[in-house]
């Protein structure tokens, strides 16, 4: 919009620049403001259930293989100078076999689009750490289609007949005032079985726009069985769009997408992890950044369909704040009541975001007195179900939960 600590990504658990809050016993207890699952209630919230569709289609994510490949991206002496040119060449080979694209250390400026028809495709950085390979562009949801065409395709990166031409064209041909969030991604993959490893995706708009509404997506995924490992996603508003859509860039309320994110780092301010997919975040650091001066901040904004039991699951992770967050208290998230701006929230009709944060470390720079905000789009006040014998999918309540987390002391 929204474990064991990984030594590669997670800093020391003592942060600076945040005020102390009450002890954990006074803060994270079951109440309508911050409903907490019981042990027995928590048992069904596991990776297997998040990744099983209709009780029969189960997915067990496997490690990402960094296979040898002829599709190598790098400086002038490499076969390809941009990731998009390597993607185009790989897809032009017209194979349904898995494809790997290796990216040598460096900064690569420009969008990358991968169409729904692509075979299993892995993009991986060849550096020693994710910071060595950066895929970057400053792209703002508020620019016009004409500005988008100038920014994204000035050098003819997309041509009619290219595999990703349809994705580019659907945004370039818009007649709206601005391109909106759905066309603001640096890396956008619509394909199933897409994988990304050991690199950074950055929407470098960052603080250049000030605190207003300027969605700038770093990564958007629409496909099923997507894997991210050792990836850094950097942005401000709407950094990671964990979505599902059709080839015409329309929201698909029937298709279900599953995404597994492990050993990674995601930074932003407003709704910076958002969408409808079934997503599991395992050993991920979420860092809330206040340098843009936004008046509020939320890590998550799920818009899970009301008849789906599972949306986002966060396990063994860490919620931190950047060191400039003095006096700044982000919330852990809010529901996204997508499409209900005129009707208001309607139980059973409107999306009702589902999220569980479990067995994770939460720095005290977060608003732990009221960790959940009013819903995006409708401003529906947060209402948690704290009653005994509750139905965890009662759609008259929010479905944002905590279980077995640790609060981390911070210094002033």
Tens digits of residue pLDDT in 203-224: 999 999 888 899 999 999 999 9
Percent of the chain with pLDDT over 90: 81
pLDDT tens-digit profile of 110-139?
Answer: 999 999 999 999 999 999 999 999 999 999
Q: Can you give the pLDDT at residue 71?
A: 98
pLDDT, averaged across the chain: 90
Q: Can you name the residues that pair with 157 across neighbouring β-strands?
A: none
Q: What DSSP element (H or E) covers 86? A: helix 83-92
> For residue 328, what pLDDT is reported?
66
For residue 302, what pLDDT is reported? 98
Distance (Å, rounded) from C-alpha 67 to C-alpha 402? 39
**Beta strand 354-358 with 406-408: parallel, antiparallel or unpaired?**
unpaired
DSSP per-residue letters across 301-360? EE---TT-S--EEEES-EEEE-TT-TT---EEE--B-TT-TTT---TTTS---EEEEES-
pLDDT tops 80 at residue 9: no
Alpha-carbon Rg for the chain, nearest whole angstrom, is 20
CA angle 38, 40, 43 (to 5 degrees): 110
Q: How far apart are CA 287 and CA 72, in angstroms?
A: 32
pLDDT tens digit sequence for 228-246: 999 999 999 999 999 988 8
Per-residue confidence (pLDDT) for residue 224, from 0 to 100: 96
Half-sphere exposure of 244 (CA within 13 A, CB side): 22
Ramachandran angles phi, psi of 57, nearest 5°: -95, 95
pLDDT in tens, 140-156: 999 999 999 999 999 89
CB 241: neighbour CB atoms within 10 A? 27
Q: Annotated catalytic residue: which of 162, 222, 269, 271?
A: 271
Domains of the chain: 24-408 (2.160.20.10)
Other CB atoms within 10 A of residue 191 CB: 20
Residue 21: band (very low, low, confident or very high) from pLDDT cuts 50, 70, 90 = very low
| 50 sits in which H/E element | helix 47-50
Cβ-based neighbours of 375, under 8 Å, separated by 6 or more: 334, 335, 336, 337, 345, 353, 382, 398
**Tokens of residue 87, six digits:** 């993607």
Q: Active-site residue 263, yes or no?
A: no
Instruction: Count the Cβ atoms, other than its own, within 10 Å of residue 46.
Output: 15
* Span 55-83, pLDDT tens digits: 789 999 999 999 999 999 998 889 999 99
CA distances from 209 to 77, 201, 397 (A): 36, 19, 35
In degrees rounded to 5, what are phi and psi of residue 239? Answer: -65, -45
Report the alpha-carbon distance of residue 53 to residue 293 in Å, rounded: 40
Per-residue pLDDT at 186 exceeds 80? yes
**Overall residue count recorded for the chain in this entry:** 412
**Are 366 and 319 spatial neighbours (Cβ–Cβ below 8 Å)?**
yes
Q: CA 355 → CA 30, 243, 308, 315, distances in Å?
A: 16, 15, 12, 11
Classify residue 100 as exposed, middle or buried by CB count within 10 Å of its CB (0-12, 13-18, 19+): buried
Decide if pLDDT at 1 tops 70: no
pLDDT-based confidence at residue 27 (cuts at 50, 70, 90):
low
CA–CA separation, 250 and 216 (whole Å) = 19
- Residue 325 is predicted with a pLDDT of 53
Are 113 and 188 in contact, with CB atoms under 8 Å apart?
A: yes
pLDDT above 80 for 164: yes
Q: Kindly report the pTM of this predicted structure.
A: 0.93
């Amino acid at each position: 919009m929204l474990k064991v600590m990984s030594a590669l990504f997670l800093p020391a658990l003592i942060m600076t620049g945040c005020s102390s809050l009450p002890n954990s016993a006074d803060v994270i207890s079951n109440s309508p403001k911050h409903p907490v699952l019981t042990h027995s209630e928590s048992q069904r919230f596991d990776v297997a259930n998040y990744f099983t569709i209709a009780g029969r289609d189960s997915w067990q994510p496997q490690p990402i293989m960094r296979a040898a490949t002829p599709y190598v991206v790098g400086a002038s002496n490499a076969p390809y100078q941009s990731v998009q040119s390597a993607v185009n060449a790989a897809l032009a080979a017209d194979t349904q076999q898995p494809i790997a694209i290796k990216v040598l250390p460096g900064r690569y400026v420009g969008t990358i689009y991968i169409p729904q028809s692509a075979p299993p495709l892995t993009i991986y950085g060849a550096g020693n750490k994710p910071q060595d390979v950066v895929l970057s562009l400053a792209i703002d949801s508020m620019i016009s289609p004409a500005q988008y065409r100038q920014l994204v395709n000035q050098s003819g990166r997309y041509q009619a007949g290219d595999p990703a031409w349809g994705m580019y064209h659907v945004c370039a041909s818009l007649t709206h005032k601005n391109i909106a969030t759905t066309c603001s991604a640096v890396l956008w993959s619509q394909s199933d079985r897409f994988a990304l490893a050991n690199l950074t995706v950055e929407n470098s708009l960052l603080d250049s726009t000030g605190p207003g509404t300027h969605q700038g997506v770093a990564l958007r995924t629409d496909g099923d069985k997507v894997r991210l490992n050792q990836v850094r996603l950097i942005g401000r508003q709407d950094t990671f769009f964990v979505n599902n859509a059709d080839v015409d860039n329309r929201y698909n309320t029937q298709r279900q997408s599953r995404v597994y994110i492990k050993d990674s780092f995601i930074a932003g301010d407003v709704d910076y992890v958002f969408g409808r997919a079934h997503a599991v975040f395992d050993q991920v650091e979420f860092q809330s950044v206040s340098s843009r001066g936004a008046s509020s901040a939320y890590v998550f904004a799920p818009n899970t369909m009301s008849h789906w039991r599972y949306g986002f699951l966060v396990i063994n992770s860490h919620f931190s704040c950047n060191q400039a967050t003095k006096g700044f208290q982000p919330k852990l998230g809010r529901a996204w009541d997508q499409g209900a701006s005129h009707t208001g929230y309607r139980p059973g009709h409107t999306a009702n975001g589902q999220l569980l944060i479990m067995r994770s470390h939460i720095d005290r720079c977060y608003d732990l007195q009221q960790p959940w905000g009013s819903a995006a789009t409708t401003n529906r006040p947060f209402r948690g179900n704290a009653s005994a014998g509750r139905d965890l999918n009662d759609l008259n309540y929010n479905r944002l939960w905590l279980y077995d987390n640790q609060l981390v002391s911070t210094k002033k």
